[in-house]
Amino acid sequence: MKTAIYPGSFDPVTNGHLDIIKRAARMFDKLIVVVLINPLKNYSFTIPERVSLLSKATAMLPNIEIDSYDGLLADYFKERPEIDVIVKGLRATSDFEYEFQMAHTNKDLNPRAETVFIPASANTTFISSSMVKQVAMFGGDLSKYVPSEIHGEISAKLTAEFAEKKRRAQLLKNK
Ligand code: PNS
């Protein structure tokens, strides 16, 4: 039995992530999708919200587990000896340098932690969580970029976040 782990921020999960999840789920007996924290990023969704969105978006896939972890991926890997390999998606050469660095760091921290890269499907190479956030915050249509089951939830949260940001900016202007 081969088990892979697909780590990410998933803030929020997009059709690009779902493409990698579906294809990795066919390659491995089990795929663990884990929400991790990149301390350098500002997140819009809480960890429970991201886990819940991922669970809804992957409900049709039988061999998926969704989890979250507040620590290093290399340590999560150590805590779950059944995991064989880390899966990452690559959209373009711009992803490569960062992902290459992370793969080497993870292997340095835990020599058992090997990474394999799956190229994004051509129709999803331009989709990213930050692009989805911008489209949603300005009221654009998200339906082509995020799974249909969660598209309303994502739009509502991001529209409200942006309205709050604008309200605060206005308050500062009026001071
Ligand atoms: O979707 P992202 O933001 O590109 O995912 C990056 C993530 C969360 C997978 C990465 O930052 C991560 O692994 N965070 C946990 C801490 C860690 O192990 N960092 C790797 C060593 S640099």
- CATH number, residue 95: 3.40.50.620
Q: What is the pLDDT along the chain (175 residues), one digit of tens a residue?
A: 999 999 999 999 999 999 999 999 999 999 999 999 999 999 999 999 999 999 999 999 999 999 999 999 999 999 999 999 999 999 988 889 999 999 999 999 999 999 999 999 999 999 999 999 999 988 899 999 999 999 999 999 999 988 888 888 888 777 7
Number of domains, the chain: 1
Peptide bond into 81 cis (omega under 30): no
Q: Is 97 exposed, middle or buried (0-12, 13-18, 19+ CB in 10 A)?
A: exposed
pLDDT for position 137? 85
Residue 88: inside a domain: yes
Residue 169: inside a domain: no
Q: How far is the CA of 175 from the centre of ligand 1 (A)?
A: 39
Residue 77: inside a domain: yes
pLDDT for position 32? 98
Helix (H, G, I), strand (E, B) or coil at 140: coil
Nearest to 25 by CA among 63, 81, 71: 63
Spatial contact of 72 and 109, defined as CB atoms under 8 Å apart = yes
Residue 156: inside a domain: no
pLDDT for position 172? 79
Catalytic residues: 17, 41, 91, 129
Query: The domain containing residue 68 runs over which residues?
Result: 3-125
Rounded to two decimals, the pTM is 0.95
pLDDT for position 169? 86
Residue 90: inside a domain: yes
Distances from the Cα of 44 to the Cα of 38, 67, 158, angstroms: 13, 18, 7
Which amino acids bring their CB within 6 angstroms of ligand 1?
7-9, 36-38, 41, 72-74, 102, 105
